[in-house]
Structure 1
Amino acid sequence: MNYDEKQLKKKRNYKPFIIATTILLNGVIFVLAGIPGVENFTAFDPTILPLMNAILNSFTFLFLVGALIAILKKKVQIHRRFIYAAFTTTALFLLTYTTYHYIAESTPFGGTGLVAYIYYFLLITHILLAAIIVPLALTSVARAWNMENERHKKIARWTMPLWLYVSLTGVIIYVMISPYY
């Protein structure tokens, strides 16, 4: 019996982890959105964190593009490494994002007219899809780990474009709001 056959017999149930992680992450971000920030925070300039968020989102986007190219070329191991890299940069993003929203007040967008409509459209779709991408990405990777390749492909067809959109719009949103920090 080879490694793949052993893995097929030993499938793990990741559903409780996926549900708990989704609720925890989305809950923390929701709560942080409603708090005013830490008063008199002086350890460092917190406006550096949104730039870090944009850089991490840029890397996530590039890693996802690399993963997509790799899987289209049937380079599964390279695809897997790019996906792990995307998860890593996303995790680091979540750390810097939650830190920023804990220590700093939200920055209002100062643009007007058509630019404001574009900004808020991108922001709202980004927020909604970011909340949705958490269980989708975790389910995609869990199915891959369980060697459920057909089920993995089905959900990855939704996960990949949405995750690409979320990471790219995160960068665009930063560029649009950065003059107002």
Structure 2
Amino acid sequence: METIIQTPSGKNYRPLIWTLTLAINGLIALAFFLPNIEILKQYDFSFLPKLNAILNSLTFISLIVALVAVKQKNIKRHRNFVLLALFWTSLFLVSYLLYHFSTPSTSFGGQGITKVIYLFILLTHIVLAAIIVPLALISIGRGLNMEVSKHKKIVRWTMPIWLYVSLTGVIVYLMISPYYS
């Protein structure tokens, strides 16, 4: 049976959540499989990977503050910092898509165990980044609707995955940054 994220007031975030999930993950996939957009090639977006790492760092910090706030039962601060994390993540997604629609991919130049570690971190980051989109949106929707028990059940997965994705985004940047041209 399918559960619906809805309150008595009628707020149903499910269509928005799944539309955003498909749009975000679809655009990210297209950024890697389509050729770069010609009109964007005239601009220098070489600063965006560093900006992306900063935005991932801000997401990570916001999530840690949100986690501490909820442990202290400060729900207002928790909500505000989760929404701030969503804001940083949204800016990251715009920046990430702009970079990858305009700039050829950079290959990791390391070898041996360093390359194995990099590829493991990158692969887990990619898979979990796709998964975190609906998880984060469902968690936020349930929180906004004050569906506390459902919210608590899903955030047990959402928070550690979102933290992992934001942290490994920074690690991937630090590992590949020497190879940007």
Counterpart for residue 117 of structure 1: 116
8 Å CA contact 1:71–1:79 kept in 2: the answer is: yes
Q: Distance in 1 between matches of 2:116 and 2:30?
A: 25
Counterpart for residue 42 of structure 1: 42
Matched, 1:14 2:13: yes
CA 1:150–1:174 in 2, change beyond 3 Å: closer, same or farther? same
8 Å CA contact 1:11–1:146 kept in 2: the answer is: no
Task: Report how far residue 49 of structure 1 moved.
Answer: 0.4
8 Å CA contact 1:63–1:83 kept in 2: the answer is: yes
Q: Distance in 1 between matches of 2:131 and 2:50?
A: 23
Q: Distance in 2 between matches of 1:141 and 1:172?
A: 26
Task: Report how far residue 31 of structure 1 moved.
Answer: 0.7
Counterpart for residue 3 of structure 2: none
Task: Report how far residue 35 of structure 1 moved.
Answer: 2.5
Counterpart for residue 139 of structure 2: 140
Q: Distance in 2 between matches of 1:39 and 1:26?
A: 22
Q: AA paired with 1:97?
A: Y
**Count of residues paired in the alignment:** 174
Cα offsets for 1:15-49 (capped at 9, x unmatched): 11111110110001001111232458233x22210
Query: What is the correspondence of 1:166-181 to structure 2 with a 5 Å cutoff?
Result: 166-181=165-180
SS of equivalent residue, structure 1 residue 9: coil
In structure 1, runs of 5+ residues without a counterpart are: 1-6
Query: What is the correspondence of 1:43-122 to structure 2 with a 5 Å cutoff?
Result: 43=43, 45-122=44-121
SS of equivalent residue, structure 1 residue 31: helix
Q: AA paired with 1:84?
A: L
Cα offsets for 1:118-171 (capped at 9, x unmatched): 000000100000000000000001111111000000001100000000000000
After TM superposition, the score normalised by the length of structure 1 is 0.92
Task: Report how far residue 13 of structure 1 moved.
Answer: 1.3
8 Å CA contact 1:36–1:104 kept in 2: the answer is: no
SS of equivalent residue, structure 1 residue 46: coil
Q: Distance in 1 between matches of 2:164 and 2:49?
A: 18
Q: Distance in 2 between matches of 1:107 and 1:131?
A: 21
Counterpart for residue 156 of structure 2: 157
Q: Which moved more, 1:28-37 or 1:93-102?
A: 28-37
Counterpart for residue 23 of structure 2: 24
After TM superposition, the score normalised by the length of structure 2 is 0.92
Q: Distance in 1 between matches of 2:23 and 2:7?
A: 30
Q: Distance in 1 between matches of 2:108 and 2:57?
A: 21
Q: Distance in 1 between matches of 2:113 and 2:30?
A: 30
Q: AA paired with 1:152?
A: H
Q: Distance in 1 between matches of 2:38 and 2:20?
A: 29
Q: Distance in 1 between matches of 2:66 and 2:127?
A: 24
